[in-house]
Amino acid sequence: MEISVKIPEKVTSYIKKPYERFINETLVVELYREGFFTLRQAAEILEISLDEMFNMLSRRKTYINYGQEELDEDISYARG
């Protein structure tokens, strides 16, 4: 799905290039913060490793949400 959004010029000066990647990362990190995605889901959406996701969250000063859902997901992933 493609969505067009008007972004005020005052805001665009803070957006890093490439714009699409920066905006996608910002949106996924915010949705992760809000609890819409697990850590693994966020990494998969952005097509990056879990290690890269940890680093991105650290750079963006975002706490890692690790609860029962993430634990269950990790156990299931480890079992294959």
Looking at the structure of the chain, the number of domains it has is: 1
Tokens of 59: 């750079």
Q: pTM for the whole thing?
A: 0.75
Residue 7 lies in a domain: no
In a domain, 5, yes or no: no
Q: Burial, 28: exposed, middle or buried (Cβ in 10 Å; 0-12, 13-18, 19+)? A: buried
The answer to whether residue 2 sits within a structural domain is no
Enclosing H/E stretch for 79:
helix 68-79
pLDDT on residue 16: 80
Query: What's residue 70's pLDDT?
Result: 75
Whole-number pLDDT of residue 69: 79
Hey, what are 43's tokens?
A: 């990494």
Give a yes or no: residue 58 inside a domain. yes
* Residue 37 in domain: yes
Block residue for tokens 């952005």 = 46
What average pLDDT is seen over the chain? Answer: 89
Q: pLDDT class for 74, splitting at 50, 70, 90?
A: confident
pLDDT in tens, 2-29: 888 898 988 888 888 888 899 999 999 9
